[in-house]
Amino acid sequence: MKKKIFSGVQPTGNLHLGNYLGAIKNFVALQEGNDCVYCVVDLHAITIKQDPKLLKSNTLETIATFLASGLDAKKNIIFNQSSVSAHSEFAWILNCVSRIGWMNRMTQFKEKAGNNKENASVGLYVYPTLMAADILLYDSTHVPVGDDQKQHLELTRDIAQKFNNDFNCDGFITVPEPLIQKEFSRIMSLKDGTKKMSKSDPSSQSIISLNDDKENIVSKIKKAKTDSLPLPSTKVELKDRPEAGNLLGIYSNLSENKIEKTLTEFKGKNFSYLKDQLSALIIEKICPIGEEIKKLLNDKNYLISVLNKGTERADLISSIKLKKIHEKMGFLS
Ligand code: TYM
């Protein structure tokens, strides 16, 4: 059966291998035979202070990354969140459905707000209700994300169920399923295999950016953290070897092979052999995307036309759903 897919990516610049392997590569696979909506979530980005000029260029770069990775602008609805007002309107309604206790359990808020919670934006706190609004407005059945978004998706399901209960409308809001890869769904930092690869990491050496050139890729992989043992032959041995697990996981994911096959290929070999093979594979798969992003960024008008078309289509679907939501709420609009 056709799935209704929704996912979003923040335009915070420097999209990396984690975003690609955890999310965007799956968006591309899902576009065949499903109805897909892919959103650049600029309203989520401003939960942390943004430079308006940079936000604009990062939004275009994110669209360029979607297209360069293989998303078809005709097949999919591609747009930016702030241009479709139903998202913020429904998010407010969901703020009133959600419970404070639920928000207090969100680990991403705790991580992002750090020690100074009093100084975090209110938007950062209610970030997950906006994410729920994004997904639920389109009756989405499936949401492809990396493992770090799992808790937000569980919350989205709780919010959907509570809305249906509160307004006595079973099935009106579709309860979506997360689509998270079973293995290596969290790509880790090249400098610390226990930390997520993240745009906000202060060390650029810890991430492979989709814009990195060949020399950069070779140098970052060469300097990636390792341990002192030869590469293992079983999955069990990877449990206590996060860096080996991460590099082998990236290799498996990019080569589309099961981890067992990758382990057989590299067992007993040293890290420098794996690093040579991995650099070559990243260059083969990622550099063409980086080059295409650069090309697309030279044609801003085209990128804007993709956004405008996507906005029109997203606006149509979401405004119809929002009208029905208003009826359920008892709004005279
Ligand atoms: P964001 O912008 O942080 O990340 C975009 C996507 O990339 C995935 N990802 C990773 N996957 C594996 N390993 C990593 N190291 C890694 N880093 C990032 C994320 O899981 C995500 O799928 N809240 C979302 C954006 C969002 C959204 C939505 C997603 C807003 N509304 C509705 C799905 C549906 C976020 O901040 O993603």
pLDDT score of 202: 87
Decide whether any atom of ligand 1 lies within 6 Å of the 109 Cβ: no
pLDDT score of 131: 98
Ligand 1, residue 6: give the atom nearest the CA. 34
Tell me how far apart the terminal alpha carbons of the chain are, to the nearest angstrom. Answer: 35
Q: Give the architecture (CATH level 2) of 4-185+300-329.
A: 3-Layer(aba) Sandwich (3.40)
- Domains of the chain by residue range: 4-185+300-329, 204-295
Distance of CA 19 from the midpoint of ligand 1 (Å): 7
Amino acid at 195: K
Torsion of CA 45, 189, 71, 262, to 10 degrees: -160
Ligand 1, residue 149: give the atom nearest the CA. 20
Q: Give the architecture (CATH level 2) of 204-295.
A: Orthogonal Bundle (1.10)
d(CA 14, CA 275): 23
Q: What distances in angstroms separate CA 227 from CA 76, 171, 192, one per listed residue?
A: 43, 51, 11
pLDDT score of 38: 98
d(CA 109, CA 127): 8
Distance of CA 7 from the midpoint of ligand 1 (Å): 8
- Active-site residue numbers? 112, 196, 199
What is 2-50 written as a DSSP string?
--EEEEEE---S--BHHHIIIIIHHHHHHTSSSEEEEEE-HHHHTTS--
Residues of the chain with confidence (pLDDT) below 70: none
**Best mutation site among 145, 194, 210, 254 for ligand 1 pocket (most ligand atoms within 8 Å of CB):** 145
Decide whether any atom of ligand 1 lies within 6 Å of the 8 Cβ: yes
The two tokens of residue 194 are 């226990």
pLDDT score of 200: 86
Question: Are β-strands 35-40 and 77-80 bridged in parallel, bridged antiparallel, or unpaired?
Answer: parallel
Decide whether any atom of ligand 1 lies within 6 Å of the 65 Cβ: no
